[in-house]
Amino acid sequence: MTFLPPTAGCSGDRDAITSYGALTSPESHTAQGEGRLLLLPVGAVEQHGDGLPLATDVIRAEHVAQRVAQNFVGRALVMPAIPYGVSPHHASLPGTVTLPPALFIQIIETIAVCLSESGWTRILVINGHGGNNGALSVVQQSLLATHPDLIFAWSPLTSLAPNANSRMGRSEISGHSGESETAQMLGIDPGLVDQKSLRAGVTALDQLTGRARLSRATGPNIAVTFDKYAPNGVLGDPTTVTAAEGQEILDEIVECLTDYAAALLAL
Ligand SMILES: [Zn+2]
């Protein structure tokens, strides 16, 4: 995994570039005039249990963004990713680096405004971290007030693959660093996962008490830090999944976002 933009390849075919950061300034001006869709991967740097890397969320977001862009060569570009996100709920475990929500909002909104005022018209944020969802909705509403003609969409990842997720099977409590997220990382590259260190976390509702249990109820919403869920910060059992299951999940996500990107380009 790298945060560097891919090159044009041995062929030197610059028309095949799908990375915004690989374009020259004049090329970016031409691409902007063509109305291309910009895909902005965002994630988090935070604990992902004992077996997944800290950058799991941005790795998945970049992977999906690059695959979607490959379906739209000449029509979509992947922006350099924002690797940091809103993660105070993971701060009790080592490795987590969190941004204040207001700063994350400011970063994403500033990038969107800068792009809009340069003439870009379509942005799709591909978000690998649920803790960013609220902030991205705030950005969306703020941009509606200041830049109503800018198309600013954002998408989660895992929930876009309901079929592959349910085929795989998940424990009653599943989520962060659990079955789906671990399968996706194995599907991208098994070398990203320390498989011998994968451990189940909380897997059933009756293992939770107090505020953590209330946070899983439907209806009103309450936030909780991950040490209240499980000492190892894992929701679910990541030891049961395979790379093949992860590839099915990723394929379904890419298919969904490819259809959505086509619709955005048609606007
Ligand atoms: Zn994650």
Long-range residue pairs from 207-215, CB within 8 A, at least 24 positions apart, any chain: 207/173, 208/173
In angstroms, what is the span from residue 177 Cα to ligand 1's centroid? 6
Confirm whether 44 is domain-assigned.
yes
The token pair at 182 is: 């671990």
pLDDT for the residue numbered 169: 87
Q: What's the CATH code of the domain at 71?
A: 3.40.50.10310
What DSSP element (H or E) covers 182?
helix 179-188
Residue 200 lies in a domain: yes
Residue 9 lies in a domain: no
- Condensed to tens digits (0 to 9), the pLDDT of residues 206-245 reads 999 999 999 999 999 999 999 999 999 999 999 999 999 9
Which of 6-15, 26-35, 217-226 bottoms out in mean pLDDT, i.e. has the lowest? Answer: 6-15
Ligand 1 centroid from CA 59, angstroms: 9
- Cα 7 to chain centroid distance, Å, stands at 23
Cα 166 to averaged position of ligand 1 atoms, centre (Å): 19
How far, in Å, from the CA of 28 to the mean position of ligand 1?
32
How far, in Å, from the CA of 97 to the mean position of ligand 1?
13
pLDDT digits (tens, 9 = 90+) for 106-161: 999 999 999 999 999 999 999 999 999 999 999 999 999 999 999 999 999 999 99
Q: What is the pLDDT of residues 101-111, one digit of tens each?
A: 999 999 999 99
Cβ(236)–Cβ(51) under 8 Å?
Answer: no
- Ligand 1 centroid from CA 49, angstroms: 10
With respect to residue 20, please indicate whether it lies within any of the assigned structural domains.
yes
**Residue 228 within any structural domain of the chain:** yes
- pLDDT at site 1: 47
Answer whether 121's CB lies under 8 Å from 34's CB.
no
What is the spatial distance between Cα 39 and Cα 62, in angstroms, rounded to a whole number?
Answer: 9
For residue 48, tell me if it sits in a domain.
yes
- State pTM to two decimals: 0.96
How far apart (Å, rounded) are the C-alpha atoms in residues 183 and 188?
Answer: 9
Task: Give the pLDDT confidence of 164-213 residue by residue, as tens digits.
Answer: 999 998 999 999 999 999 999 999 999 999 999 999 999 999 999 999 99
Give the distance (Å) from ligand 1 centre to CA of residue 83: 12
Distance 254 CA to ligand 1 centre (A): 18
| Residue 203 located in a structural domain | yes
Report how far ligand 1's centroid is from the alpha carbon of 162 (Å).
17
Q: How many residues does the chain have?
A: 267
- Two tokens, residue 218: 């439907």
List the domain range (segments joined by +) for residue 79: 14-266
Mean pLDDT score, 37-51: 98
Cβ burial of 161 (10 Å; 0-12, 13-18, 19+) is: buried
User: Which amino acid belongs to residue 32?
Assistant: Q
Give the number of domains in the chain.
1
Distance CA 254, CA 135 (A): 23
From ligand 1's centre to the CA of 259, what distance in Å? Answer: 24
Residue 2 lies in a domain: no
The neighbour count for residue 38, using CB atoms within 10 Å, is 23
And the tokens for 256? 């969904």
